[in-house]
Structure 1
Amino acid sequence: MSKQNSVPNRTYKSTIFIRLMEDKRKLLEVYNAVSGNHYTDPELLTINTLENAIYMSIKNDVSFLIDSRLYLYEHQSTYSPNLPLRMLLYLGDLYAGMTENENLYGRKLVKIPPPQFLIFYNGQEELPDQRTLRLSDMYAAEETEHKLELEAVMLNINAGHNPELLETCSVLWEYAEYTARVRKYARELPVEDAVENAIVECIEEGILEDFLRKNRAEAKNMSIYEYNQEKHLRQEREASWEEGREAGIREGREAGIREGHESGISESRRQTAINLSKMGMDVEKIARAVEASVEEVQTWLADGDVRK
């Protein structure tokens, strides 16, 4: 088998997280942990994950019905502010499937389950325990009232984050622990060897033991793919940040020259901060990149919103 170290295929979506959530018992454990419920019968869940979403030629990670509500779960190893839009597209496909035999032009009201959106993040970029992503943040025009909103809660499941959740939910803790060990070994070994070491170690310690024993070859291939994809996307993002930083510096210098005073340096830092924020970088990292205080960056970003 050839080594899988090329640019990842973006349409390939089979991951260990998805495979774990195909087990209703594990999915119910995750649902109970994040919802605070204590259901014991996995058959209460009806899994309806899309097989092939029409807009992006990929399927969503996990979707299911319980208590007359629809839940969409996504796993992310690289942060993307565009997830609310992707989830909206998934939701449209799911509702279309649920109502295909209903008369949507009739007088009888068609009932649909209200949706909930959750993202499980375990990437290497440092992010807070919880963050809410909103569809309205993507709107190109400012509105006093949004006619369409979608809120997705992102939970950081890396070690050291959301300890109560990981203590409550063993499958999330085990998944995060396995991923952390792959990354640890990959700092010193080729990714294939790193994954093999992590699998052996986790089986010995009872971490995802049943899954890794039954699906060892598939798990290894998926882990190699996931690691390479995460590395590739991280490198792409770092390159984009650098391009944005350089573009901001150039624009700032040009602005300073046009205005005929020495504000070019200050303006370049401000423009760089705005560019990096548009690319999804958090305020603390922006402050380090442009050598400014967090408070100064926040002022620049707020001022940038006003100038739109």
Structure 2
Amino acid sequence: MNNVSLPINRIYKDRLYKMIFNDKSELLKLYNAINGTHYDDPAMLTITTLDNAIYMTMENDLSFIIDMRLALYEQQSTVNPNLPLRFLMYITDIYSAYTKDMNIYGSKKVQIPLPSFVIFYNGVKSQPDRTEFLLSELFHPTTDQPALELKAVMLNINKGHNQELMNACHTLRDYSEYVARIRTYSAEMPLTDAVEKAITECIHENILRDFLLKNRAEAKAMSIYEYDEEKTLRMFREEGYEDGERNGKIQATIEMCLEFNLSSDAIVQKLMTKFQFSENQAQEYLDNYIAQNS
């Protein structure tokens, strides 16, 4: 990859949402708000989030066990009907680790935590407060009596949605407000300035104040990266570029250019010529490829 400048925010591929709710106290508040429970001891939480450094390919946002209930949470800025399949993969690995010292071949039943699967949606496309996705909807051929089922619930956490949930979990409400401000301001000014303005205002107005004061630099970098990523994915969809064959040709072109050690400017020019991209479009494709493969 000679002469190709990597995006400065590539090291911040974790989610701001995940960083906020990695705090057990905040995660417990979120769980209580979703389930109408009143647990008050964060030590009851056992984190089971998959780390791809251990599981090689599997990584999820947040998962934990409390009182023999296993919760798996994912944050998404796009609607993904394949998440039940991903959840199935996640929970298989989690149950494998959970039962590694149990005799699953014996005559006595083993006890495993009761699972639930929640998707927190904060994309720009309009969605209802609550949507359910079923694993069986992916089966082909279809059947009315699937031998295997998994239900994932998608909750819209954009500003103005799921007010009861937001009132029950102020941190989630604050996160929603923070994201909404970045989107509003980024339409009026450069993204870096928009994020800085949102952070400054939120601190002043006691919105995620403690978190932003403690993690200002990391939060800013993550927010810029997430917004850029979201914008790029949206560009793929809105302009019809998610067709597999076309995306494959674009990726192959970038890979070929990198093999020949072309500069980033030369790769951008190649994409502009071959695919009739504007300079900004070509640069976004290149940046997104590098971010995903670095």
Q: Same fold (TM over 0.5)?
A: yes
1:243 Cα deviation after fit: 6.6
CA distance in 2, matches of 1:64, 1:41: 14
* Distance in structure 1 (CA, Å) of the matches to 2:153 and 2:49: 19
> Is the deviation greater in 229-238 or in 50-59?
50-59
Q: How many Å separate the matches in 1 of 2:243 and 2:107? A: 55
In structure 2, the residue matched to 1:158 is 158
1:139-192 superposed Cα distances (whole Å, 9 cap, x missing partner): 121112100010011110111111111112101100000001111111122211
Tell me the residue number matched to 1:231.
231
Contact 2:236 2:242 in 1 (8 A): no
Q: 1:207-226 counterparts in 2 under 5 A?
A: 207-226=207-226
Alignment of 1:1-308 (within 5 A): 4=7, 13-52=13-52, 57-240=57-240
Closer, same or farther in 2 for the Cα pair 1:241/1:136, shift >3 Å?
farther
Amino acid at match of 2:73: Y
Q: Distance in 1 between matches of 2:49 and 2:182?
A: 27
Whether contact under 8 Å (1:13, 1:59) holds in the other structure is no
1:77, 1:122 within 8 Å by CA — same for their partners in 2? yes
RMSD over aligned Cα atoms = 2.3
With a CA cutoff of 8 Å and minimum separation of 6, indicate the structure with the bigger relative contact order. Answer: 2
- 1:115 counterpart letter in structure 2: P
1:188 maps to amino acid: E
8 Å contact kept, 1:64–1:72? yes
1:5–1:228: 8 Å Cα contact kept in structure 2?
no
Amino acid corresponding to residue 239 of structure 2 in structure 1: A
Q: Gaps spanning 5+ residues in structure 2: where?
A: 245-294
Distance 2:54 2:89 in 1: 9
Q: How far off its partner does 1:203 sit? A: 0.7
Whole-angstrom distance in 1 between the partners of 2:58 and 2:138: 21
Q: Is the 8 A contact 1:156 1:162 kept in 2?
A: yes
Q: Give the AA of the match of 1:172.
A: L
Q: Is the 8 A contact 1:46 1:65 kept in 2?
A: yes
Provide the aligned length of Structure 1 versus Structure 2.
240
Larger Rg: 1
**CA contact 1:55–1:89 (8 Å) conserved in 2:** no
Distance 1:37 1:220 in 2: 33
1:300 is matched with none
- For 1:134 and 1:101, locate their aligned partners in 2 and report how far apart those are by CA, in whole Å: 31
SS, match of residue 240 in structure 1:
coil
5+ long unaligned stretches in structure 1: 245-308
Distance verdict in 2 for CA 1:231–1:58, change over 3 Å: farther
Summarize deviations over 1:200-225 as a string: whole Å, max 9, x none: 11111111111111111111111011
**Contact 2:128 / 2:156 at 8 angstroms: preserved in 1?**
yes
TM-score between both structures, scaled by the size of structure 2: 0.76
Q: Which amino acid aligns with 1:102?
A: M
